[in-house]
Chains A and B, each alone.
Chain A
């Protein structure tokens, strides 16, 4: 099971919107609405930001939103803030025997 493909880095200025893509296959992202997004600050544990493609857990800012089209899922961060600077990972349920796969990760930089 290969990792989902994400851009290595994305940057934006405070207040801007950025979008991170997550490309999989018809065996994972394309076949299930079980895509999640995680935020990880350096030295910290990951934090769930989005589940089931577009749902936000309680306590997560509505500046974070998710969507999916075909084999590609996306995370959009609106009104970019300094605290959003972190690594972001997507993950998907997969029909393979392994059941879950993560993306390659994207470093978000706030300029």
Chain B
């Protein structure tokens, strides 16, 4: 059974750092490109970052470029999102998603909530 479980969210002050994790099971993680997508309270989905199956290429939304780093450890079947210099506007539910079908996101986790507030 395909499964993604995010962790690492919580309440954090502006300017601080946080690392999210996404543990994968039930599929060949090392064959999937992986995404982070976020959703601010009451708002729509916002694509955040993409990493290819082997970690060779990474892409970011303009809103997070320079502050956020996506990475993966295929030996641990885990995806990461390192978030630095957090802002109030980074408050959101963060989902990890996998691309079993090319150019789409067909496997989703349940999300982890990040709240940036002083």
- In the complex, whether B35 has a CB less than 8 A from a CB of chain A is yes
Question: Which residue in chain B gives the minimum CB-CB distance to A32?
Answer: B103
Most-contacted residue by chain B among A52, A89, A100, A105 (CB, 10 A):
A100
Please tell me which one of the listed residues B45, B59, B101 contacts residue A98 in the complex, with CB atoms under 8 A apart.
Answer: B59
Q: Do A52 and B44 form a contact, CB below 8 Å, given A45-B109, A99-B50?
A: no
Please report the C-alpha to C-alpha distance between residue A101 and residue B35 in the assembled complex, in whole angstroms.
Answer: 12
Q: How many positions in chain B have a CB within 8 Å of any CB in the partner chain? A: 23
The reply to whether B59 and A46 contact each other, CB–CB distance below 8 Å, is: no
Beyond A45-B110, A46-B95, is A105–B44 a contact (Cβ under 8 Å)? yes
What are 25 A-B pairs at a CB distance below 8 A? A1-B62, A36-B103, A36-B105, A38-B105, A45-B108, A46-B95, A47-B108, A48-B104, A51-B101, A51-B106, A52-B102, A52-B103, A55-B101, A57-B101, A57-B106, A87-B44, A89-B44, A91-B104, A93-B103, A97-B59, A100-B35, A100-B59, A102-B45, A103-B44, A105-B44
Residues of B in contact with A (beta carbons under 8 Å apart): 35, 37, 44-47, 50, 59-62, 95, 97, 101-106, 108-111
